[in-house]
Amino acid sequence: MVVGIILVAINPYKQLPIYGDAIIHAYSGQNVGDMDPHIFAVAEEAYKQMARNNKNQSIIVSGESGAGKTVSARYTMRYFATVSKSSSNAHVEDKVLASNPITEAVGNAKTTRNDNSSRFGKYTEISFDQNYQIIGANMRTYLLEKSRV
């Protein structure tokens, strides 16, 4: 097993102007270390490795409640949709993350840091075609806290 780059992100609990399309295009095609550490640098490296080696890649987003895991996953999916020039670029991240609303509605709970904290882990698989454009995605959830059911 090979472990790639690791990025530690901190939730600033406010919107920052570092996730727009201009930033996505700035990171697209860059090598790791050429620019500041960023979730887009992680996504770019995974995308390049997938295309270069024709092998599946994984990005693990982990953290405590309210750390910004869902937002980081959303930014990553938007990055892939943009750089792959996918025809499904029309908010692919919204479609994927909205794929399981019933589980979210029943399985979330209020915590001291997050009013809508998920009690589920999520595994999102994004499928690409031979041109490395997104052709679909699948989200699987798994129960973390059985006491919430």
* C-alpha distances in Å from residue 89, one per residue of 11, 115, 136, 140: 26, 30, 11, 21
Print the domain residue range for 111. Answer: 2-144
Is residue 67 part of an annotated ligand binding site?
Answer: yes
Q: What is the pLDDT of residues 37-49, one digit of tens each?
A: 999 999 999 999 9
What is this structure's pTM?
A: 0.82
Per-residue pLDDT of the chain (149 residues; tens, 9 = 90+): 677 888 888 888 888 999 999 999 999 999 999 999 999 999 999 999 999 999 999 999 888 777 888 788 889 988 998 898 866 555 666 676 666 555 566 666 677 766 767 667 788 899 999 999 888 888 887 766 665 55
Is residue 145 part of an annotated ligand binding site?
Answer: no
CATH classification of the domain holding 131: 3.40.850.10
Is residue 64 part of an annotated ligand binding site?
Answer: yes
Q: Is residue 149 part of a domain?
A: no
Is residue 121 part of an annotated ligand binding site?
Answer: no
Is residue 44 part of an annotated ligand binding site?
Answer: no
Is residue 65 part of an annotated ligand binding site?
Answer: yes
Number of domains in the chain: 1
24: nearest Cα among 35, 10, 12: 35
